[in-house]
């Protein structure tokens, strides 16, 4: 069964697969875990889709790491 990035529930354990999409569902999940200042940028989107195995928890942690590094 294919994961539906538009409507399936997301958790920190959700695997990011080759069919990953930056949907409103993903944006809501990220804002919930990263705060209202969350936004996608091209470098971050490329990192998500770079083919390396990761979970949505890894995605949240990477966004937080990048924000801390930028400040």
DSSP 8: S
- CA atoms of 69 and 21, how far apart (whole Å): 26
Residue 44 lies in a domain: yes
Counting the structural domains of the chain, the total is 1
Largest CA distance in the chain: 41
Pair of tokens at residue 65 = 């790491």
List C-alpha distances in Å: 63 to 3, 8, 25, 57, 59: 22, 22, 17, 10, 6
Q: Tell me the residue range of the domain where 59 lies.
A: 40-71
pLDDT in 10s for each residue of the chain, 71 residues: 789 999 999 999 999 999 999 999 999 999 999 999 999 999 999 999 999 999 999 999 999 999 999 98
Residue 33 lies in a domain: no
- CA atoms of 3 and 35, how far apart (whole Å): 25
């Amino acid at each position: 069964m294919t994961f539906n990035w538009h409507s399936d529930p997301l958790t920190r354990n959700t695997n990011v697969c080759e069919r990953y999409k930056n949907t409103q569902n993903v944006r809501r999940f990220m804002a919930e875990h990263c705060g209202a200042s969350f936004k996608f940028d091209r470098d971050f989107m490329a990192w998500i889709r770079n083919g390396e195995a990761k979970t949505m928890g890894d995605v949240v942690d990477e966004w937080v790491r990048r924000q801390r590094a930028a400040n």
